[in-house]
Amino acid sequence: METTTKMLTIDPSTPILPPWANAAVYFVREAGEYIFAARKDDRTISKFLRPADVKAAFTHQEDDTGWIGTNVVRIGNSSRGPWFIYRRGAERVPICFEGDRNKYLIPIPPTILLCVGNNYYIFAVDHKPVHDGTKLYRAPFPNVYDNGRICWGSNHPPKSNAPNAGEKAWSLFFASPFTCHLDEGHLAKKTDLLGFLKSLNAKKIFPARMLIQHGYELRTMREVLSQIVRAKESEEE
């Protein structure tokens, strides 16, 4: 005996409402969109909704990132929480090292800080503008995992929705004493990373030849952002 499956196609402009419903929300799986439909007089009206709008409607809560600060070039929401990208150009920053009383003023390449939920990732870039095709390089600093995630140790970075979170987290990273933790594989040549950073004291430009591309397959901003935003926290390391 053959069985037939009835397929129902919903036109976004005229979605179907059951006779007992005054309104409904449809999830369009392929498009990742929501459609809101409601009865008005003798007709049905509809419109597309953003996921944030649906969340606010069902939780009765407003969604506000707060004042993220300048140099934030992109923001969004994901299953891991809100995220943003904070950008800084090439500059000279004061740094220090654990067990070393000296202060060093070193040049660094342009950097971007990616915050997803309350996890921060740092990468180097070879130019200031950031777009989908921007190539990412490993941050030439210790205390950073292979995937770019910062190991904060006993420090507590700001939450993603804190005022000026990007600027504060970036400043905290460079103000914290660098250690020999996670200090391998950050440079194009096998060089003592801490010694190399100290040798840059009073120099004006970071030598771009020392940068090494991030990852093996995921090298662009678009690829890395997609992988990190979609990854589960248990998959990070």
Q: Would you place residue 113 in the very low, low, confident or very high pLDDT band (cuts 50, 70, 90)?
A: very high
List pLDDT tens digits, range 151-196.
Answer: 999 999 998 888 889 999 999 999 999 999 998 889 988 889 999 9
- What are 88-107's pLDDT values in tens digits? 999 999 999 999 999 999 99
Global pTM reads 0.72
Q: Which residue has the higher pLDDT, 215 or 74?
A: 74
Give CA–CA dist 125/111, Å, rounded. Answer: 6
Q: Which residue has the higher pLDDT, 55 or 156?
A: 156
Q: Which of 134, 141, 112 is nearest to 124 (CA)?
A: 112
Percent of the chain with pLDDT over 90: 42
Q: Give the pair of three-digit tokens for residue 142.
A: 């210790």
Would you state the pLDDT for residue 142? Answer: 95
**What value does the mean pLDDT take over residues 210-224?**
83
Q: What is the pLDDT of residue 5?
A: 44
pLDDT at 8: 42
Q: How far apart are CA 214 and CA 128, in angstroms?
A: 17
Q: What is the mean pLDDT of the chain?
A: 82
Identify whether the C-beta of residue 85 lies closer than 8 Å to the C-beta of residue 48. Answer: no
Please answer whether residues 62 and 161 qualify as being in contact, where contact means their C-beta atoms are separated by less than 8 angstroms. Answer: no
Question: What pLDDT is recorded for position 20?
Answer: 80
Give the pLDDT score at 122.
97
Question: What is the model's pLDDT at position 17?
Answer: 75
| pLDDT at position 125 over 60 | yes
CA dihedral 219, 225, 231, 237 (to 10 degrees): 50
Tens of pLDDT, residues 2-47 = 544 444 445 555 556 777 877 888 777 655 567 777 877 777 777 7
Lowest mean pLDDT among 167-171, 199-203, 221-225: 221-225
pLDDT-derived band at 226 (thresholds 50, 70, 90) equals confident
Cβ atoms of 187 and 141 within 8 Å: the answer is no
In this structure, which amino acid lies at residue 43? R
